[in-house]
Structure 1
Amino acid sequence: MDNLVKPRRYHHATGGWGSLDGMARVEVASKAPPEALRTLSEQNKPEGYMCSSCAWAKPPSPHPAEFCENGAKATIWDLTSKRCTPEFFAQHTVTALAEWEEHELEKVGRLTHPMRYDAASDRYVPVAWDEALEAIGRTLRRLEPRSVTFYASGKAALEPSYLYGVFARMYGNNNLPDSSNMCHETTSVGLKKVIGSPVGTCTFEDLQHCEAIFYLGQNPGTNSPRILHPLKDAVERGCRIVAFNPLREKGLIEFVDPQNPWQMTLGKPTPIADQYVQVRPGGDIAALTGVCKRVLELEDERGGVLDHAFLAEHCHGFEAFAAQVRAAAWDEIERHSGVTRAELERAGDSYVAARSVIGIYGMGLTQQVHGSQAIGMLVNLLLLRGNIGRPGAGCQPIRGHSNVQGQRTVGISEKPELVPLDKLREIFGFDPPTEKGHTTVEFLEALLDGSAKGFVGLGGNLARAVPDHARVHPAWRGMELTAHVATRLNRTHLMPGKESYLLPCLVRAEEDIQAGGPQTVTIEDSFSHIYGSIGRRKPASPHLRSELAIVAGIAKATLPPNPLWRWDEWAGDYRQVRELIARTYPDEFHDMDARMNQPGGFYRGNPAHERVWKTESGKAEFTVPSVWTSHGFDEAPGRYTLVTLRSNDQFNTTVYGHSDRLRGLEGDRMIVLVSPEDMAAANLSEGQKVTLVTDCGEGIHRAVAGLAVTPYDLPRGCLAGYFPELNPLVPLEHHDQLSKTPAAKGVPVRIVAD
């Protein structure tokens, strides 16, 4: 084994000087003005600007710099001085721009004018706002409502999101998928099934009282770096963190606080994970079974381990679950998880030793064929000792987009049963549709069968983010209408329908002046707290409109006049929209306008946090998994499991640069990470170009060529590469069984030498 190539790695801690350097490089590349630094000083603070990156909490007592590397990059990127003008579009056809890399499109800068696609010249050309809105409304009136999808990216604030959902239902459908369908819908469905809540059960304060954290399938160093501060604080007061992930991500290994001068100069990094379990992709069900088995063994040996009072009063199905776990063979657990019995017993001992435990997870669990069952297994573990619904304990997904959870809260949902339709009927005087709408996958299926005719996108780059590019992309341009509310040019805009419009909007950091004066918007974090956000920077162009104004404008142009539908008034004064939200959701949003700027936001509540279980049984449900692994396929000779990743210079489909510093990777994104042992077994050499071919999906060939083999510390049989470059390998039908979330963290592939 001594002759194996050495895996790539980063030899420094997360945070520290590397984090500051990463922010500085993006600042230089974006040519952000000095005002961007002023915005960072106001970021995530009461009566300030709420970061448009991830959905991490905004603490009531913020640090002097309450932003992370990725949050700073997002703000700097938004406030670039570069502009994507009508003159730029005059110089480039859409066909030519479609050949540009994602990063090059982003670098052009902020959109400045509304644009209309002109098929004759294959260019976007300027169009007046009124003309664009009237044309969109005219086409929407012509189309059958069921054929139109209203997508939301997860970044739009509560006020425009609420009106967007109301507009879609007034128009006549519940086709309201959002980016949750692409990442955490498994939580919304799977978690709700077992504890009655579609969101996490913790509050920010719980992190100050937990004694152990089980951290699964999420990379904080890249995806939500501000969580590293409370993790560091927890470790320093004695909390043990047990990490489960196929890749040894630096953010879960060690951290240097950039706001601590002593640690930045003379101090040592803070170790984060007390134990790092390198589970196979999809092996979390088996691994958690092993941890639960250890807990039950300790209960059988000495008693007093399980919370029997909690199990009797609050839980259903414990006996069946315990019987399966006790019967599970250790050799099967080890084989399917890729983890030794000793490692899992150690994790079980850490769990039992802690009085309060939080389970944190990310898309490593949700983007699997049986992701709902993996979430159920984590809940099973927490229920054994009553670790849901008390201080310092709970089950907490880490969400991506800053308001993706909030959008669901105020009605962006394809499921009519999750929306108070009776309230909408009472307030707005119409009969909302009751037919279930499209998930993202169902929209794509409609696209392929020709029944999808219109697409309105409230932000995002959906065509780039979805699976199965080779099938989906050619069909995208067959729609009658595509209309995009956007800040920058992206790949989806370069697949115009027969009519297509770019509607440029303000970013959250820019001042939003309407008829009623400066406007504030609100967002919801992963802990169900609501915050006001006000922008103070000068808009990138005088021709920009707010997301809410654009939504109201399209609605007014599409729908018949109605004295109850006061689109102009709502666009002029967002307080009126907050009053509508409070009327629609009185228990959660009462006095919303008065409470939105209080430090730490206001908590909208969560029944499971209070041990009220809105499940079929009225109790928290133990579940018995039907599979050992969540990826949904069997092992086979030559078959690998592919995990798609974001780089350190990336947020979702936005690529800020080509550095993946925390993994020791720089430059080309067209790479595939392979363990040195698998490289040797397959006779692969570092830098060799290979093609990955999907090993499922009968009769359809899916492949990505030109990937450079790169050695990395991975479990045997696991490959990793970048999202969205490897999305063409994910079959549309390869998704979580309950939620239809694409299973991008467990794709069966084969390696073919180029």
Structure 2
Amino acid sequence: MSLIHPHPHYKPYQSAAGGWGSARSVMHILWHEQALTTATPALLKQNKPKGFACVSCAWAKPGNPHALEFCENGAKATAWEVTRLRTGPEFFARHSLTELRGWTDNALEQHGRLTHPLRYDPLSDRYQETTWAEAYAGIARQLKALPPEQVVFYASGRASLEASFMYQLLARAYGNNNLPDSSNMCHESTSVGLQESIGVPVGTVTLEDFEHTDCIFFFGQNVGSNSPRMLHPLQEARKRQVPIITFNPLRERGLERFVNPQSPVEMIGPESTVISTQYHQVKIGGDLAAVTGIIKAVLALEAQQGGVLDHGFIAEHTDGIDSLRGLVDSQSWEVLERHSGLSRTAMEAAATVYARSERVMVIFGMGITQHRKGVDAVQMLVNLLLLRGNIGRPGAGICPVRGHSNVQGQRTVGITEDPAKVPADKLLALFNIRVPERKGLATVDTCEGILDGSVKGFIGMGGNFLRAIPDTDRMEPAWADLTLNVQVATKLNRTHLVPGQHTWLLPCLGHIEIDRQEGIEQVYSTEDSTGVMRAWQGTTEPASEHLRSEVAIIAGLAEHTLHGDCQVPWDAWRHDYALIRTAISATYPDIFHDMETRMWQQGGFRRPLAASERKWHTDTGKARFLAPQSLEEDPDTRVDADRRDVLNLMTLRSNDQFNTTIYGYEDRFRGVSGTRSVLFLNRSDVVRLGFAAGDWVSVRTAIEPQVRREVGPLQILVYDIPEGCAAGYYPECNPLVPLWHHAERSKVPAAKSIPVTLHRAEPGQEDLAYALDEADQVR
């Protein structure tokens, strides 16, 4: 696939995150999507009471919102959805799927909103317009012919609580627990790790905790591009002189400096807020060792001066500290430095600040979770917090930063492959649905099933599955062997271009659009990454009269497919979403009691979290210090020590994308413009491997040599990244990730640590134009 774009160039970005760069980027996307008149009024209602939830990330929405409660990427997501551009049946009459597979991801989605239900015609290799009745009947016919265990119901993380609840009922009434979702690809390591350590699968931090904290640790998360609204509470914390200590392989601008684009004083002045007071460039896969080093230094301070550990909390609320001490004592500083890529001094500096802080928060992202030992890494962060009682205290706690807007919420209402996590007794009593006892398929399991032919049907509720998953080049050919392929979407993407034997593309309403059922406007609800539920409603007119809501599509599929004694009133629910919320409340009363009232209160309502009250629903009834067996985060990718040609690659997102959606070709904070065909390398590695900045290379996975995994050509960009490490863009580098290379116990693809080798290649496009001499490229 070509990634060509006019005049690619590189120029180090010298400004702060936010500021005029953010404002210009928002204006550009509004113009590009022809959405100035539609998106501008919508943005005034984004993340506001009686407005709509941002369709991008799941970061918390304040109860007292700013005048403009959206960030740069949130504005891009809104413009992307309310665009005036359209992709109707006439588009597919002009373009075959074979032709469209040569388009870029950006070009496919940028063409505009889908407008009509479509069915793939293999004779013409085109999508053709169909009716909803024909689509439901045809899909139901295939579902009835397939054994339930061969069908997968995937959820991308953007569906509302109401739609998600219905979707999992549909799957279980159909006869399986095959409910993979986007959590399987990012934060399942969090859910597993936190459940084992503190008895809850989600974070304990709230927005209010930012107002009371006196220290923040950041691990493996790029706030400037992935959750920019968090920069506001971070800036307020820094104004109170709260130290922020960051561990990340790359120096990300959002974690360095920030200018609030909503502050006229900051916008016209030269000053910016310094975000990180310590910035430690841990090497890829070095977080376990880095946190072990911090803990080692904390225990040394306790031995030297006393009063550092919270002995009362440890004695009353925890167990397992001796195993942690044993691990830490067995590690020399030499080993910790080698594994982490940091000096002993750096780890001791972080420990010193931690030891003198009373209320500490740890914020982390997929730099922690997407490793073979991702679960262990999450638990090591918890270990650090437990030493000083920093769970269940205002201003303290653990804070995973989730991705999609309702990815956490859909898990709360039953989107899970594990029947043990579902209230089976309630589903039987309320809906006469017997939850299948067999554990269902998660994302990696689904991919394995498609490869071996045991999965024959796939229904995708949003998302771009084929681009998001690992081992892409192996998965695409196998995808064509599916008997049934159904995709519910707002825009065209790569997954829609690889048809199965029977393929439908069903266009749905976006959450920004007004959802009318029989003329009555409906509201929906979501859960953010701090566990808060809120009510929302669309504000713009639908892109087409032929669109249907996710709720209506699920109800239509259920009514045409299911038979027997299922007692879900699908048609009534489709016409009144309040009835769905009543059912959610009855199914999960501890969380959703009085939901219809509480979801409208200022700031919404938060799910009960036992750990926040220092109640531990773990195997031992206490918070658990859990020590890893090794400090190697990705031991199965170890290569011969003499192989000096192997680098450790991580995938990353640009400033101009959200997950697989590519808004444009401006990775502003990293200074890359007009291309995504780059590979970020340390200068020393470039020189010792015999390359030069600007050289073109192909990148190959350095393990499992019998399977050729290769991406390129990519152009070398000298960058500030630790020696031995490399970085390339997601999802373009996904073909390099073996399907089996996933986190233990959570099966999250280990996309943050891929051993690779570089090989000279022919230029793939116009060379990057460097704004500076080679010697000046590193910031």
Shorter-chain TM range is over 0.9
Residue of structure 2 equivalent to 1:255: 258
Could you tell me how far 1:563 is from its partner in structure 2? Answer: 7.4
Q: Distance in 1 between matches of 2:447 and 2:135?
A: 26
**Is contact 2:189-2:743 (8 Å) kept?**
yes
Where does 1:82-121 land on structure 2 (aligned, <5 Å)?
82-121=85-124
**Is contact 2:172-2:433 (8 Å) kept?**
no
Could you tell me how far 1:10 is from its partner in structure 2? Answer: 1.2
**Is contact 2:709-2:735 (8 Å) kept?**
yes
Residue of structure 1 equivalent to 2:490: 487
Could you tell me how far 1:561 is from its partner in structure 2? Answer: 6.0
CA offset digits 1:616-675 (Å, max 9, x no partner): 111111111112131333353211110101101100010010000011111111111011
Residue of structure 2 equivalent to 1:751: 758
Q: Distance in 2 between matches of 1:563 and 1:753?
A: 60
Residue of structure 1 equivalent to 2:25: 22
**Is contact 1:7-1:676 (8 Å) kept?**
no
**Is contact 1:296-1:326 (8 Å) kept?**
no
**Is contact 1:45-1:599 (8 Å) kept?**
no
SS at structure 2 position matched to 1:42: coil
**Is contact 2:200-2:609 (8 Å) kept?**
yes
Could you tell me how far 1:698 is from its partner in structure 2? Answer: 4.8
1:656 counterpart = 2:656: no
Farther-moved stretch of structure 1 (691-700 vs 409-418): 691-700
Q: Distance in 2 between matches of 1:705 and 1:128?
A: 41
**Is contact 1:152-1:177 (8 Å) kept?**
yes
CA offset digits 1:151-176 (Å, max 9, x no partner): 00000110000000001000000000
Give the AA of the match of 1:607: A
Q: 1:155 aligns with which of 135, 155, 158?
A: 158
Q: Distance in 2 between matches of 1:463 and 1:266?
A: 45
Q: C-alpha root-mean-square deviation of aligned residues, in Å? A: 1.2
1:347 counterpart = 2:354: no
**Is contact 2:18-2:260 (8 Å) kept?**
yes
Could you tell me how far 1:751 is from its partner in structure 2? Answer: 1.0
Could you tell me how far 1:281 is from its partner in structure 2? Answer: 0.7
Residue of structure 2 equivalent to 1:281: 284
**Is contact 1:157-1:407 (8 Å) kept?**
yes
Using the aligned pairs only, state the percent identity.
Answer: 52
Could you tell me how far 1:188 is from its partner in structure 2? Answer: 1.0
Residue of structure 2 equivalent to 1:415: 418
Q: Distance in 1 between matches of 2:670 and 2:433?
A: 53
Residue of structure 1 equivalent to 2:3: none
Q: Distance in 2 between matches of 1:8 and 1:424?
A: 57
SS at structure 2 position matched to 1:672: strand
Residue of structure 1 equivalent to 2:130: 127
**Is contact 2:456-2:483 (8 Å) kept?**
yes
**Is contact 1:548-1:571 (8 Å) kept?**
yes
Where does 1:645-684 land on structure 2 (aligned, <5 Å)?
645-684=652-691
**Is contact 1:7-1:713 (8 Å) kept?**
no
**Is contact 1:49-1:508 (8 Å) kept?**
yes
CA offset digits 1:314-373 (Å, max 9, x no partner): 111001211321332001000000000001100000101110000100000000010011
Give the AA of the match of 2:623: A
**Is contact 2:431-2:566 (8 Å) kept?**
no
Farther-moved stretch of structure 1 (633-642 vs 435-444): 633-642
SS at structure 1 position matched to 2:553: helix
What is the count of residue pairs matched by the alignment? 749
Residue of structure 2 equivalent to 1:577: 580
Q: 2:638 aligns with which of 609, 617, 634?
A: 634
Farther-moved stretch of structure 1 (607-616 vs 450-459): 607-616
Could you tell me how far 1:203 is from its partner in structure 2? Answer: 1.5
Q: Distance in 1 between matches of 2:295 and 2:325?
A: 9
TM-score, reference length from structure 1: 0.98
Q: Distance in 2 between matches of 1:429 and 1:320?
A: 47
**Is contact 1:360-1:396 (8 Å) kept?**
yes
Q: Distance in 2 between matches of 1:28 and 1:685?
A: 38
Q: Distance in 1 between matches of 2:694 and 2:426?
A: 60
Residue of structure 2 equivalent to 1:523: 526
SS at structure 1 position matched to 2:216: strand
- The answer for unaligned runs of 5 or more in structure 2 is 1-8, 762-779
Give the AA of the match of 2:480: R
- The answer for unaligned runs of 5 or more in structure 1 is 1-5
Give the AA of the match of 2:446: F
SS at structure 2 position matched to 1:600: coil
1:731 counterpart = 2:731: no
Could you tell me how far 1:47 is from its partner in structure 2? Answer: 1.7
Farther-moved stretch of structure 1 (316-325 vs 584-593): 316-325
Where does 1:693-708 land on structure 2 (aligned, <5 Å)?
693-708=700-715
CA offset digits 1:42-70 (Å, max 9, x no partner): 11111211101000111011110000000
Farther-moved stretch of structure 1 (608-617 vs 722-731): 608-617
1:721 counterpart = 2:728: yes
Residue of structure 2 equivalent to 1:3: none
Give the AA of the match of 2:561: T
Could you tell me how far 1:597 is from its partner in structure 2? Answer: 1.8
Q: Distance in 2 between matches of 1:244 and 1:53?
A: 25
Residue of structure 1 equivalent to 2:306: 303
**Is contact 2:406-2:528 (8 Å) kept?**
yes
Q: Distance in 1 between matches of 2:433 and 2:427?
A: 8
Give the AA of the match of 2:638: D
Q: Distance in 2 between matches of 1:576 and 1:724?
A: 39
CA offset digits 1:79-108 (Å, max 9, x no partner): 000000100000011111111110110111
Farther-moved stretch of structure 1 (429-438 vs 543-552): 429-438
1:77 counterpart = 2:70: no
**Is contact 1:8-1:713 (8 Å) kept?**
no
Q: Distance in 1 between matches of 2:377 and 2:564?
A: 49
Q: 2:66 aligns with which of 63, 70, 76?
A: 63
Residue of structure 2 equivalent to 1:232: 235
Farther-moved stretch of structure 1 (598-607 vs 558-567): 558-567
Could you tell me how far 1:565 is from its partner in structure 2? Answer: 2.2
CA offset digits 1:431-485 (Å, max 9, x no partner): 1211100010000000011011000000000001111112111000100000011
Q: Distance in 2 between matches of 1:447 and 1:712?
A: 38
SS at structure 2 position matched to 1:65: coil
Could you tell me how far 1:553 is from its partner in structure 2? Answer: 0.5
Give the AA of the match of 1:627: S
SS at structure 2 position matched to 1:34: helix
Residue of structure 1 equivalent to 2:470: 467
Cα–Cα, structure 1 residues 212 and 417, in superposed 2: closer, same or farther, change >3 Å?
A: same
Where does 1:300-699 land on structure 2 (aligned, <5 Å)?
300-515=303-518, 517-560=520-563, 562=565, 564-632=567-635, 633-634=637-638, 636=641, 637-699=644-706
Q: Distance in 2 between matches of 1:349 and 1:399?
A: 29
Farther-moved stretch of structure 1 (72-81 vs 44-53): 44-53
CA offset digits 1:6-32 (Å, max 9, x no partner): 996310000000001111111111111
Give the AA of the match of 2:726: L
**Is contact 2:489-2:508 (8 Å) kept?**
yes
SS at structure 1 position matched to 2:758: strand
Q: Distance in 2 between matches of 1:593 and 1:110?
A: 32
Q: Distance in 2 between matches of 1:405 and 1:624?
A: 27
**Is contact 1:516-1:573 (8 Å) kept?**
no
Q: Distance in 2 between matches of 1:336 and 1:565?
A: 54
Farther-moved stretch of structure 1 (663-672 vs 82-91): 663-672
SS at structure 1 position matched to 2:44: helix
CA offset digits 1:250-289 (Å, max 9, x no partner): 0000000001111111241000000001000110000001
**Is contact 1:8-1:710 (8 Å) kept?**
no
CA offset digits 1:545-579 (Å, max 9, x no partner): 00110011011110016572211110000000000
CA offset digits 1:178-202 (Å, max 9, x no partner): 0000111111111111111111011
**Is contact 1:9-1:712 (8 Å) kept?**
no
